[in-house]
């Protein structure tokens, strides 16, 4: 259980009121959405992907790529917006990524992405909202 205090905190009731049941399951209970189920997987416009939980900008569309996994994938987050922890669930070791501002679970980061970073931030689309560039 994460005991860290984040700049944005809410009670469980406040999280449940702010998020849909699917968003709550993913973002507060470290769930995973069904692959291919989020419209943001197909978003191609210029803009910014932000955290549904606290509105923090997380990823720029110019770093989004098609990974073929069924989840939105990015090379790199906005600096300082995402933090990583070790996830040992399901009998494996992975790197979980979460919002640095509210602690919400976003997805995982893997070292099988394209250049230049070689990283693939595999993000649950329900944890994101998209704001097109002006």
CA-based torsion, 61, 21, 69, 101: positive or negative: positive
In the set 54, 97, 99, 122, the catalytic residue is 122
**DSSP-assigned beta bridge partners for residue 96:** 85, 108
Active site residue 122: yes
95 backbone dihedrals φ, ψ, rounded to 5°: -105, 110
Pick the closest to residue 117 from 77, 83, 78, 76 (CA basis).
76
HSE-up of residue 82 (Cα within 13 Å, Cβ side) = 28
Between the alpha carbon of residue 93 and those of residues 78, 86, 87, 103, 133, the distances in Å are 25, 7, 6, 20, 36
- What residues act catalytically? 122
């Amino acid at each position: 259980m994460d005991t860290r205090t984040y700049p944005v905190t809410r009670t469980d009731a406040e999280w449940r009121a702010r998020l849909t049941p699917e968003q709550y399951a993913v973002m507060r209970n470290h769930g995973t959405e069904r692959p291919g189920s989020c419209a943001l997987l197909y978003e191609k416009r210029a803009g910014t992907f932000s955290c549904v939980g606290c509105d923090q900008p997380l990823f720029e569309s110019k770093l989004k790529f098609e990974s073929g996994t069924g989840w939105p994938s990015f090379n790199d987050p906005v600096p300082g917006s995402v933090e990583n922890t070790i996830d040992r669930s399901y009998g494996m070791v992975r790197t979980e990524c979460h919002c640095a501002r509210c602690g919400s679970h976003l997805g995982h980061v893997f070292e099988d992405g394209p250049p230049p970073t070689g990283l693939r931030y595999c993000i649950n689309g329900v944890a994101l909202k998209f704001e097109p560039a002006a």
